[in-house]
Chain A
Amino acid sequence: MPRDSLITSENDIDIGLEFAGDEDEVSSFQEEHERERHRAKRRDGDREKKKRRKGRRRRASRAGEREDELQARHEKREAGRRKRAKNYQESEGRERDEEEQAQIKTGKTAKTKKNIKNEKTRKVEQEEGEAEERNAKGKKKHGSAKKEEKDEDGGKCAAKEKTQEVKKKKHKRVVETSSEQETSEEDVNEEEDSEEKELRPESLSPEELEKLKEAVDERKKLIQGLRGKPWSMKKKLVTLRESQEFVEKYEGALGKGKGRKLYAYKVMMAKKWMKFQRDFENFKTACIPWEMKIKEIESHFGSSVASYFIFLRWMYGINMILFGLTFGLVMVPEALMGRPYGSIPRKTVPRAEEASAMDFAVLWDFGGYAQYSVLFYGYYNNQRAIGWLKFRMPLSYFLVGVGTVAYSYMVVIRTMARNANESGVGDDNSFNFSWKTFTSWDYLIGNPETADNKFASITTSFKEAILEEQESRKDDNIHLTRFLRVLANFLVLCCLAGSGYLIYFVVRRSQKFALDGLDTHTWWERNEVNMVMSLLGMFCPMLFDVISALENYHPRVALQWQLGRIFALFLGNLYTFIIALMDEINLKREEEKIVKFNITTWEASLYNSTVSENSTGPPITIQPADVPRGPCWETMVGQEFVRLIISDTMTTYITLLIGDFLRAVLVRFLNYCWCWDLEAGFPSYSEFDVSGNVLGLIFNQGMIWMGAFYAPCLPALNVLRLHVSMYLQCWAVMCCNVPQERVFKASGSNNFYMAMLLVILFLSTLPAIYTIVTIPPSFDCGPFSGKKRMFDVIQETLESDFPAWFSKVFSSASNPGLVLPFILLMVLAIYYLQSTSKSYKEANVELKKKLQTQNEENKKKNKRAALKAQMDLEEARKAASQTAEQQKNNNASLQDQEADEEENHSSSQRLYHGKNRRNPPAPVREQGLPATRAPVPRNYHHGNHGAPGYLPGFPRQSEPRMHRVPSLQRH
């Protein structure tokens, strides 16, 4: 059916729109539109076609005459008619039928085949009257010498085709997707193109085939590029249909015999493949999480706020993968195949803690049962292979730790490179004002408030730019500004140092508390470290904001300073925390030594006692909970990080609820009974702080990277956190925030954030790697217990799991003699690449400069040309005014001697002679002047109508001519 085929053809390409869902309806009404247009067009084209038809018919008759097929052809035609009648209204159908008939004669294999198919599938239904009428019409139209044979059977060509078609039908039908009606439309429009190709494919010579192929390729290209054409939808649709028809019809004609079959098959597969790809893309799009949410936010708040959520989603993706790694390769295997809980001391809650191990307060601190579970490093056993799979647990643990970091590096760097590519295009500032004018409006904005803000921000940005432009880089009081800036930086440094010390102090204090035992202290004392860190992270940025008011920077510069300071603060806090943690690790290791010693004595005493009591009996089994154990610093580190993440998350959420939601509620509802306007005045609604939120996210991620090795549950926790904060923040933004006034551009800042992320990644992997490499693992917990260093697991695997030669090769490859040159080589390569990229950059800058000078040059040249033209114009004008004066004089005299016209003529001629001799017209002017037939100047003309008294070849300076001169400048 035509409709179906239309839809499939619609699917092959979309004209700017994505027909994702209900294509049928849309395409159907588009089709209707188009059809109507075609009808009109066809009516116009009818006349033309009649002329052409003659020639075509002659060709057709030449091609072959077979009378025996008449009957079949007739039937077929009727079937086509019936179908058409079904599809369209009667009157339209008739009109189309005429077309159809004409088309049949042109001999289109495709169409006839289609008809046959229809005939077979459709139930027969006679409409003789209409057929008769049509035949009559056709006869009238044809009216040529070959009338007899033609009119009876309606054209030999079709008959011939029919036979052909019987042969080819089986395989050709596969490619046939076009509808009858469309072919007819196409017929009208493509007449010129297809005239030659309407011969049967078999009869085409190789050149013709080649030509045909070219034409088809051209059409294909047209279809591909159609979306980029600035045409109206109608024109696009028409062109698309035409081209598709053309391609579909003639694609099959390429190739011969078996080749054609193959070709047809290939074409079909290509189409199917394209459709599949389209569907798949749509499916993929539908799978992008939170897309609609983000779009909604984008349309309310503009692209910069949306960029935060896109960043958040990106983070979520990364964490998902990290979580997949740790969960799939570490936690699940250990939980399923490792020894069960309670089997060995490290997997059991110690006797002393058993009573409180299930308390919520303890669990909330990730102590008790949470501590002795797969969530933390200490739970894992150092058994080399576990379960029936012989899963290498310690090795897997180590590799996942390394892989997490490596993957993160890869993703961040790749994203940075991509961003750099994108932003590399528009980093020059040569179109500052133009861009401000033409691209500053965000068409996505669909919210009056945002629009207001946008208007304001655009106005300020214009004013700033104008000021910058006008300002000749002089400051009113440079000393004061400098002093203030130094002061501000000093204050900020004080803040940073103070916060660093505070954290250090608090961590040390908490260690003391920890030594005393947690139960004796209040909740605050137990959670002091995390709370202090979160509070510092909350209030210091505000302080910085106040301080930065001193500095009087440009807002964008100020924002970057602010970001830099917050970054430094977070980093400082994090590192103080880590340093304090290191202290704690050292303490624990001291403790461990003592415990180790104690354990040996304890074991000895135990052994002695058992030996002394019953020397022959089996050794008593000691409950694993009773076995004394070391402090296991790794688990402690993991716990610290997990607690940090939890408290950080809680602070973020609570700030969100109180700072944003509660504030919004208060402002909204107290406004009715307050003495000043709360919404516009002091508290107002909170803005969504993109940069602060991004920074928070980045640091959170940094902590994850740092702690993930010691607490495999961290990525899972983070995924949870990001998931919740996605919804919570989306909701908070939509319901209680107002858009920022100061907009940090989304596109420009992406790499800034990415760079921060990279720095954080580097800085957070440093301590993790340091601890892994330098500190020996605890003796009685974790997958690496009993080894000197954690990375010994690699060596162990090499020795025991790989053939001997491999480990030999590896060990010889790892000796300094080979490693050092290799490192040297790498350094050299980096140096080389860096220098080449530098030189490229320089060349780029050079080229840019050249381009700019070229531009300037061009401008100057143009200006000169314009100036010259201007001067010429002036000159011409002067000349004209002179002439006019003369003419006026002339006119005055003319009025005196009105009777004597002949004399007047001669005098005017003389005058022109004289004038032209005095100042010959500039060559520029000459070009624009008509040689002789210019209108007569009004002043002069007024007296003597129709008196051709000018000599040819003497250009006259008249008003209309003067106006032509400026037009020269344009070219």
Chain B
Amino acid sequence: MGNKQTIFTAQQLFDRYRDLAPQLVPLDYTNHPDVKLPYELIGSMPELKDNPFRQRIAEVFSEDGEGNMTLDDFLDMFSVLSEMAPRDLKASYAFKIYDFNNDDFICKSDLEKTLNRLTRNELTEDEVRMVCEKVIDEADLDNDGRLSLEDFQHMIVRAPDFLSTFHIRI
């Protein structure tokens, strides 16, 4: 249990959620109002606004898949991206984030999108293609030309920096 840092409390999270749109979110959640914050607001949070994958993050964690988040989605997002979330959980959500077309596989087009967001389109097409090939070559264990969740997990659990970088803090 909380043997690491207590980074943010749920109350803080709620405050953050509410601060995004005080006119939309009621203070009193006892009547569980059906409130959703649009992606524009979520994506402009300082924690996310510089992240090249912010739209994916919002889409993955939102229930409607469009980036519009309820409070539950919001809590969910920060729970997974908290420091205490277990590695496997993080890995499975990271997979979802990098799976741009939601087909449960990371294929070449997903990789290209990832790369272009990571480098802001600074790499040439040839370079992108080469990196994609290398990635698939390295991580694709069943050789179907794309990465399944298992491939991804197999690769990511060995990554030295994954846990230290795949979290967000408020």
Task: Enumerate chain A interface residues (CB-CB to B < 8 A).
Answer: 13-23, 25-30, 32-33, 35-36, 227-230, 232-234, 274, 277-278, 281-282, 285-286, 288, 291, 295, 298-299, 303, 423, 425-426, 428, 430-448, 450-451, 455, 458-459, 462-463, 465-466, 469, 745-748, 855, 858-859, 862-863, 866, 969-970
* A15 to B75 alpha-carbon distance, docked (Å): 10
| Cβ proximity bits B85-114 to A, threshold 8 Å, 1 near / 0 not | 110110011100010000000000001001
**What residues on A are CB-neighbors of B156 within 8 Å?**
438-439
B23 at the interface (CB under 8 A from A): no
Q: Is B158 a contact partner of A428 (Cβ separation < 8 A)?
A: yes
Contact: A18 with B89, CB < 8 Å?
A: no
B144–A970 touching, CB < 8 Å: yes
Contact between chains at B122 and A459 (CB < 8 Å): yes
Q: Provided the pairs A19-B10, A32-B29, A291-B5 are in contact, do residues A458 and B81 lie with their beta carbons within 8 angstroms?
A: no
Q: Which of A17, A425, A446, A859 has a CB less than 8 Å from the CB of B143?
A: A859
Which residue in B1, B93, B135 is a CB contact (below 8 Å) of A14? Answer: B1
Can you name 26 A-B pairs with beta carbons within 8 Å?
A: A16-B76, A16-B79, A16-B85, A17-B75, A18-B8, A18-B9, A23-B11, A35-B32, A227-B85, A228-B86, A230-B93, A278-B2, A285-B5, A438-B159, A440-B118, A440-B161, A441-B165, A443-B81, A443-B167, A445-B50, A459-B120, A462-B118, A462-B119, A745-B161, A746-B164, A858-B141
Task: Assess A286 versus B144: contact at CB under 8 Å? Given A33-B32, A227-B89, A228-B86.
Answer: no
* Interchain nearest-CB distance for A13 vs B (Å): 7
> How many inter-chain residue pairs (CB < 8 Å) link A and B?
241
A276 CB to nearest B CB, Å: 12
The closest CB in chain B to the CB of A432 belongs to B138
**Most chain A CB atoms below 10 A, which of B46, B80, B138:** B138
Using known A-B contacts A17-B13, A458-B119, determine if residue A232 contacts B159 with beta carbons closer than 8 Å: no
B144 closest partner in A (C-beta) = A970
The reply to whether B159 and A439 form a contact with Cβ atoms under 8 Å apart is yes
Taking CB atoms, residues of chain B closer than 8 Å to A232 are 63, 72-73, 76
A29 CB contacts on chain B under 8 angstroms: 14, 29-30, 32, 71
**A345 and B161 alpha carbons, distance in the complex (Å):** 61
Which positions 1-54 of chain B face chain A at CB distance < 8 Å? 1-14, 29-32, 46-47, 49-53
> A17 to B165, Cβ gap below 8 A?
no
CB neighbors of A among B115-166 (8 A): 115, 118-120, 122-123, 127, 130-131, 134-135, 138-139, 141-144, 152, 155-156, 158-162, 164-166
Q: Note all chain A residues with C-beta closer than 8 A to B82.
A: 16-18
* B61 nearest CB across to chain A (Å): 9
Question: Contacts A22-B11, A230-B89, A232-B72; is A466 near B6 (CB within 8 Å)?
Answer: no
Q: A228-B86, A455-B119 are in contact. Are A434 and B139 (CB under 8 A)?
A: yes
Q: For A21, list chain B residues within 8 Å (CB).
A: 9-12
Residues in B whose Cβ lies below 8 Å from that of A288 = 5
A434 adjacent to B9 (CB under 8 Å): no
B131 with A447: CB separation less than 8 A: no
CB contact between B160 and one of A227, A425, A451 (< 8 Å): that residue: A425
Give CA–CA (A434, B169) in the complex, Å. Answer: 25
- Among A230, A431, A443, which residue has its beta carbon within 8 angstroms of that of B138? A431
| Sample of 9 further A-B pairs with CB below 8 A, known A426-B159, A444-B165, A746-B161 | A16-B85, A27-B10, A28-B29, A33-B32, A277-B1, A433-B134, A441-B118, A443-B168, A451-B51
In the complex, which residues of chain A have a beta carbon less than 8 angstroms from the beta carbon of B159?
426, 431, 434-435, 438-439
Q: How far is the CB of B86 from chain A (nearest CB, A)?
A: 4
List chain A residues, Cβ under 8 A from B162. Answer: 435, 438-439
Measured CB to CB, the closest approach of chain A to B10, in angstroms, equals 4
Q: Which residues of A contact B63 (CB under 8 A)?
A: 232
> Is B142 touching A862 in the complex (CB atoms < 8 A)?
yes
Given A20-B9, A435-B161, A748-B160, CB of A969 within 8 Å of CB of B168: no
The 6 closest A-B pairs by CB, nearest first: A29-B29, A16-B79, A862-B143, A26-B10, A451-B50, A426-B160
Q: CB-CB < 8 A to B93: which residues of A?
A: 230
Contact between chains at A439 and B165 (CB < 8 Å):
yes
Contact flag A437-B114 (CB < 8 Å), given A448-B50, A859-B143? yes
Tell me, in angstroms, the Cα distance from A205 to B51 when the chains sit together: 59
Q: Once the chains are docked, how many angstroms separate the CA of A866 from the CA of B143?
A: 8
Chain B residues near A469 (CB, 8 Å)? 130, 134
Residue in B2, B81, B161 whose beta carbon sits within 8 Å of that of A285 in the complex: B2
CB-based contact B2/A282 at 8 Å: yes
Chain A residues with Cβ under 8 A from B2's Cβ? 14, 18, 20, 278, 281-282, 285
Evaluate contact between A437 and B135: CB separation under 8 angstroms: yes
A112 vs B127: C-alpha distance when bound (angstroms): 70
Q: Output the least CB separation between A144 and chain B (Å).
A: 37
**Contact call B123/A463, Cβ cutoff below 8 A:** yes
Q: Which of B114, B156, B165 is most buried by chain A, counting CB atoms within 10 A of its CB?
A: B165
Q: Which residue of B lies closest to A423 (CB)?
A: B160
Distance A432 CA – B93 CA, assembled complex (angstroms): 21
